Amino acid sequence: MWRFSGSACLLVFAVVSLSDASFPVLSETRESRESRYQISSRGFRVGELKTVIRPFVKDGRKLVRFEGNTSIKAGFLFFSLQSSSYEEALIGEEGTVGYRRTGTENGRTRSVEAQFSQNSVFLTVREDGKTRSVTIPRTRFDFTTMDCPETTIGQEGEQLEIRLLDLEHARVINRRYIWTKTETVTVGERTIRCRVVDFEDPDNRCRRWITRDAQGVIIARQEGKGKAGSYILKMISLGKG
Q: What is the pLDDT of residues 188-229, one digit of tens each?
A: 888 999 999 999 998 889 999 999 877 778 999 999 986 667
- Written in H, E and C, the secondary structure of the chain is CCCCCCCCCCCCCCCCCCCCCCCCCCEECCCCEEEEEEEEECCEEEEEEEEEEEEEEECCEEEEEEEEEEEEEEECCCCEEEEEEEEEEEEECCEEEEEEEEEEECCEEEEEEEEECCCEEEEEEEECCEEEEEEEEHHHCCEECCCCHHHHCCCCCCEEEEEEEECCCCEEEEEEEEEEEEEEEEECCEEEEEEEEEEECCCCEEEEEEEECCCCEEEEEEEEEECCEEEEEEEEEEEEC
Q: What is the pLDDT of residues 2-22, one digit of tens each?
A: 555 544 444 333 333 333 334
pTM check: above 0.95: no
pLDDT attached to residue 11:
36
pLDDT attached to residue 162:
96
